[in-house]
Amino acid sequence: MKTLLIGFLALLVMPLSAQANEEKFKEGVHYKVIAEEGTKRPEVREFFSYYCIHCYRFEVVAAAMKEAYPTSFEKSHIVSHPTLRLMARGMVAAKLFKKEEPIGKAFYQRIHDQKKQITSEEDLQAIFHVHGIEAEKFEKAMSHPLVEKQVNEMERNMNKYNIKATPTFIVNGKYEIITSGFNGSKDVVADLVEAAGYLMKK
């Protein structure tokens, strides 16, 4: 009898929880529908640029998303300009060395804190060198077929979702989070992470 009662209570709690999220996150305020069909698996994709100061400030959100959804969260650099494509290649190359986070942070710091541009592979190589990656290994990574493949995929997704601004968070290929809708939040990071989780299950 006790087991049956617990099961019955669980059935009551689950719909109430879902209803609470429905009331907390509203279409047109916190998210918008951008496609009829979603992706086959749950995913949260952040479109960003190392040259975007808002993306730099949103790194705390990206880190929280990655921690909450380690198998679903993915960053995708925009490639709408040769310099941005160079940065995307640098990002993927850093992944090959499993140093995407420290090198990505160095990219942001050079551009926004040190006010220095990154416009060539030589600029990238200098940063990789600081992180213990020799020039020869860097050059091999930058010319690796996987780098161009992933950058091309970033470009396809950027065009597919018609990305015009950064940062932009796309959930399941079907929903776009409206970050401005969280301006009045007491905990923006937690609410954005929760919204992503809600939309992945929606």
74 and 87: one domain? Answer: no
Q: Assess if residue 157 is contained within a domain.
A: no
CB neighbours of residue 27 within 10 Å = 12
Q: Are residues 58 and 94 in the same domain?
A: no
Residues 85 and 131 reside in one and the same domain: yes
* Average pLDDT for the chain: 92
Residues 47 and 100 in one domain: no
Q: Which residue in the block uniquely carries the two structure tokens 């990154």? A: 118
Q: Please check the confidence at residue 71 and state whether its pLDDT lies above 70.
A: yes
Q: Is residue 171 assigned to a domain?
A: yes
Bridge partners, residue 176, by sequence: 32, 170
Is residue 125 domain-shared with residue 138, that is, in the same domain? yes
- Domain that residue 71 falls in: 27-78+163-202
pTM: 0.88
Q: Is 10 within a domain? A: no
State the pLDDT confidence band at 21, using cuts at 50, 70 and 90. low
Residue 107 and residue 50 in contact, taking contact as beta carbons nearer than 8 Å: yes
Same domain, 108 and 140: yes
d(C-alpha 120, C-alpha 77), whole Å: 17
**N-to-C CA span, the chain:** 33
pLDDT reading at 1 higher than 80: no
Of 97, 114, 144, the last residue of a domain is: 144
Q: Is the pLDDT of residue 25 over 50?
A: yes
| Average pLDDT of the residues in 3-15 | 45
- For the stretch 83-93, pLDDT in tens is 999 999 999 99
User: How many domains in the chain?
Assistant: 2
Confidence of residue 23 (pLDDT cuts 50, 70, 90): confident
Q: Please state, for a pLDDT cut of 90, what percent of the chain lies above it.
A: 88
Asked if the structure places residue 201 within a domain, the reply is: yes
CB of 175 closer than 8 Å to CB of 33: yes
Q: How far apart are CA 89 and CA 9, in angstroms?
A: 52
| CATH, residue 187 | 3.40.30.10
Identify whether 108 is part of a domain.
yes
Q: Could you read off the pLDDT of 116-155 as tens digits, one per residue?
A: 999 999 999 999 999 999 999 999 999 999 999 999 999 9
70 lies in the same domain as 118: no
Q: How confident is the model at residue 59 (pLDDT cuts 50, 70, 90)?
A: very high
The whole-angstrom separation of Cα 132 and Cα 179 is 37
Region 49-56 average pLDDT = 98
Stretch (H or E) spanning 175: strand 175-177
Alpha helices in 2-144 (DSSP H): 2-24, 53-57, 59-68, 82-96, 100-108, 121-130, 135-142
Are both 139 and 109 inside the same structural domain?
A: yes
pLDDT the model gives residue 33:
98
User: 77 has which bridge partners?
Assistant: 48
Co-location of 94 and 65 in the same domain? no
